Amino acid sequence: MDLKEIISKMTLEEKAGLCSGSDFWHTKAIERLSIPAVMVSDGPHGLRKQAQGGDHLGVNESIEAVCFPTACATACSFDRDLMQNMGEILGKECQAEDIAVLLGPAVNIKRSPLCGRNFEYISEDPYLAGELSAAYIKGVQSQNIGTSIKHFAANNQEHERMSCSSEVDERTFREIYLPAFEKVVKTADPWTVMCSYNRINGIFASENHRLLTEILRDEWGFEGFVMSDWGAVSDRVAGVQAGLELEMPGSLGTNDADIVNAVKTGELPEEILNTAVERMLRIIFRYIENKRDEVFDRKADHEKAVEIAKQCIVLLKNEDQILPLKEGMDGVVLIGGFAAKPRFQGGGSSHINSKQVPCAIETMKKYGVTQYSEGFSATDDVLDQKKFEAAVQMAQNAKVAVVFAGLPDAFESESYDREHMRLPDVQNQLIEEILKVQKQVIVVLHNGSPVELPFADRVKGIVEAYLCGEGVAEAVADILYGKANPCGKLAESFPLRLEDNPSYLNFQGKDGKVVYSEGIFVGYRYYDTKKMDVCYPFGYGLSYTQFELSDLKLSQKSMKESETVKVSVTIKNIGNMAGKEVVQLYVQDLTKAAIRPLKELKGFEAVSLDAGEQKT
């Protein structure tokens, strides 16, 4: 198709109009030139397709869809194949629902545990975020559905996200906040990139020429189009000049008219507008020419969501091998509101309308567990003395108490940040009281980001389920009883307390600016270099089996800057249960040419092994 010929037939008004949405979710159609409208939809862990009443915060109802584990959970798989497989499933769902672009993944770095949207982000580590995001995008786009990697860039808090300026030095920008985007653009060719709301060193991302053109296109070779986050446009003409092709949603013609006037007055060269239109048309027709019939099998995809969840759950503690529990054993009781109402996703634009969401009370019955006491609500931090005392009593009479704890929806969501890193007070209080009468306590966590765990040294087991999608209760039950072997590794550090986090003094900022004064020392890069104790470190996670590493080899003993070194190691499952281990490769700079972290992740592989099996 000759796109330049089509553009030559377009009026100036049509060109300007194509660069903004017709409504909340669609691009504009130009019927006389056979240019169709296409639909975009929120993701990244399911489809939030809204047929009517569009909004970007999950207020109005969307179609029934399957909620897969959120990024905070899937990141713990450290598994590229898993991410690509999930992307393929979502791409097929998009084909079935006539969606051209799925808005995700979100790869912003987890600078602070308090960011309200951390559940949707992958990691504190840029290498891990880039590798897993690239795999996910390859999966989605293998189905000829576009993705929109977001939020470009340095969008690491919800507080004043529409206006706050991220003040970040060049080295930190290049080493921490840009590499995940760079990796994806260079290796996975995303169809679109979504710019963020915030300013970067004083300039809005939506009109930042250095970001959207010099870095994204000239340096990295991006060939798709850039769209705004919803309502992120400040100066539309400056945005087009900077490299922002699509404004979402549309402005009811106001900004289109500004573009037309800017071309007529010579402020905006029409060649720049033509380039923007060509980039839009290339993606629109790429989708249209590859549109096919597909079936959205919600039941089958639910089962796939369960299997993915099992590979994301992290076993943080297993003292005295309390886990796995023995099937049919008496005296196991469930406590906590999350056992009846699992929190499986976050709030805001990624909220999925799931209908098939069993709870732990239901899924644990197949293992003979029938006793349950609420103890505390899953929706608030209010003490109900009668329920509190009943839960303590049930725990006292039990052999094992499994407490389902976590963060209520109101504690973390898009649009605002958390105020602290604690679980609700009532949950901590109940766990403390239970520990006075019962030593065999297992805590299952439902949360989108790290929490302080004052009881970690006294409970026997801790299972981090994160927000593991609509199948989380099924996955947790199978993990607790050993039908599945936990294999997740933390993709973020769990500090002992909020004050230990390197961004603590500057998070959220002041007077419209947030200074990234910790520089490159984000997450484990800071804790390791400072030799600080943490509750649980990045990359940590237990298994029901044991693995042994041996025969570490380098392809060469020295290297030049332009060369690469291949590292190999033999891993063996020396336990008696099949499992999956994540081999992690870290590097350390011994040159001391610059101040650097003690170690940095530069390679990983998720390896599945039967008992006694080994691989290199």
- Give strand ranges (E) for 290-449: 314-318, 332-335, 371-373, 400-406, 441-446
Pairing verdict, β 225-228 and 192-195: parallel
Q: What does the pLDDT average to over 99-107? A: 98
Q: Residues 42, 79, 125, 229: which is the catalytic one? A: 229
169 is an active site residue? no
Query: Which pLDDT score is estimated for 547?
Result: 98
- Identical topology for domains 1-37+145-168+190-290 and 303-529: no
Q: What does the pLDDT average to over 142-150? A: 98
Query: Which pLDDT score is estimated for 413?
Result: 93
So where are the chain's domains?
A: 1-37+145-168+190-290, 303-529, 547-615
Element containing residue 573 per DSSP (H, E):
strand 567-573
When mean pLDDT is compared across 345-354, 519-528, 540-549, the lowest value belongs to 345-354
pLDDT at 60 over 80: no
Query: Which pLDDT score is estimated for 321?
Result: 98
Helices 80-96, 298-310: crossing angle, 10 deg rounding: 160
Q: Could you tell me the CA-to-CA distances from 584 to 73, 346, 607, 611 in Å, in that order?
A: 18, 29, 11, 21
Q: For 10-30, write each residue's pLDDT tens digit.
A: 999 999 999 999 999 999 999
C-alpha span between 321 and 305 (Å, rounded): 28
547-615: what fold? Answer: Immunoglobulin-like (2.60.40)
Token pair listed for 160: 């004043």
Q: For 220-231, write each residue's pLDDT tens digit.
A: 999 999 999 999
pLDDT at 58 over 80: no
1-37+145-168+190-290: what fold? Answer: TIM Barrel (3.20.20)
Q: For 322-377, write each residue's pLDDT tens digit.
A: 999 999 899 999 999 999 999 999 999 999 999 999 999 999 999 999 999 999 99
pLDDT at 149 over 70: yes
Place 56 in a pLDDT band, splitting at 50, 70 and 90: low
User: First CA to last CA across the chain, in angstroms?
Assistant: 48
C-alpha span between 489 and 513 (Å, rounded): 34
When mean pLDDT is compared across 38-52, 277-291, 309-323, 600-614, the lowest value belongs to 38-52
Pick the CATH number of 303-529 from 3.40.50.970, 3.40.50.1700, 3.40.50.720, 3.40.640.10: 3.40.50.1700
Q: For 231-247, write each residue's pLDDT tens digit.
A: 999 999 999 999 999 99
Q: Could you tell me the CA-to-CA distances from 250 to 47, 173, 327, 443 in Å, in that order?
A: 21, 31, 56, 47
Closest C-alpha to 608, from 572, 569, 580: 580
Q: What is the DSSP letter of 173?
A: I
Query: Which pLDDT score is estimated for 59?
Result: 59
pLDDT at 289 over 80: yes
